[in-house]
Amino acid sequence: MGYGQAMKQVLVAVLAIISIRRHLVAAAGDAVQPSSNALKQVPAMYVFGDSTLDVGNNNYLAGADVPRANTPLHGIDYPGSKPTGRFSNGYNIADSIAKKLGLKESPPAYLSLPQGTTPRSSLLSLKHAGDNIPLSKQVMYFESTKAKMQAKVGSAAVRILLSRSFFLISVGSNDLFVFAAAPTDVVALYSSLISGYSATITSLYNMGARKFGILNVGLLGCVPTVRVLNSTGACNDGLNLLAAGFDDALKSLMVSLTARLPGLVYSLADFYSHTEVTLANPQASGYVNIDSACCGGGRLGAESDCLPNSTLCGDHDKFVFWDRVHPSQRAGELSAAAFYDRPAEFTAPINFKQLARKI
């Protein structure tokens, strides 16, 4: 299938469906407590990401078109079976990575915090497309957080804290979805995204960040909302190629930043390859379904969002996807485990565990 033809296939549905995923959300929370089954390896975690990492900021964004995850059946497997604003049946991948680092879960949504709260861990986000909290504002949130911390404990203590904290970043998917709906200049797209990525990491570095855990973009052409456009339910090769091209550029960026910013260390998690391996042999991970939403409606469960009256699959852990875009809690857990301390196949140049323990 040619690139142009593949891109045309996603035009209508991406505009109609993925557009509701365009916003990239921001959050921050108080210092989280260590989990009961792991030693706390970092003093705090700061996360920049999209809706796959959101823990509830969508609840506070204005606008009728902002997608929400604050109603059932979202959160059905979260403690208390309550919707939290996570696009998941329970925890998301940010939570799972936090747990691996010895934290209880990803911090509460930044927009949910009482004014004047001084967070020590945060979930922020980067954006290029659609309704969102802009990147510039995310940097402002982080600057504000740092200033409040310095006022309480002093610059020296904050410098040590940030240098030892874990900065998790996962962005780009929404931008690629939007581009695929109306493709123009791919080189210009990559250049814009990588420029934003570089500026963000450099700004965080200048404010004291040193440890960066980066998730690249996965197989976007294999999410249910894209598969449903194909009469056979197959993945969209063109969209996957678009994601792979961005991932190559991101890999090169991280190498160049390391050479330019002394003391910066990172682990680049290969979400793309991990998803590829998972879909090629789903039984190895205990999955029985890799192409449909556990919660949704219509063909592949991908013709409507996850709503209180949606059709729900029987065993949530046996589906890769929770809704028509986002992974299930189980998928997030398995990805986090692969990136944390599994063989180097999915992380470079070190894994998340090694990154957390870097001095």
Q: Which amino acids are annotated catalytic?
A: 51, 323, 326
> What is the helix (H) or strand (E) element at residue 85, kind and residue range?
none
Q: Could you tell me the sign of the dihedral formed by the alpha carbons of 23, 29, 35, 41, in that order? A: positive
Give the separation between CA 341 and CA 332, rounded to whole angstroms: 15
Residue 333, number of CB atoms within 10 A of its CB: 21
Give the separation between CA 133 and CA 202, rounded to whole angstroms: 20
Give the separation between CA 2 and CA 190, rounded to whole angstroms: 20
DSSP secondary structure string for all residues of 307-331: -TTSEE-S-GGGEEESSSSSBPHHH
Pairing relationship of beta strands 211-215 and 121-124 according to DSSP bridges? unpaired
Give the separation between CA 248 and CA 244, rounded to whole angstroms: 6
For the chain, the farthest-separated pair of C-alpha atoms sits apart, in whole angstroms, at: 60
Burial 76-91 (b: 16+ CB within 10 A, else e): bbbeeeebbbbbbbbb
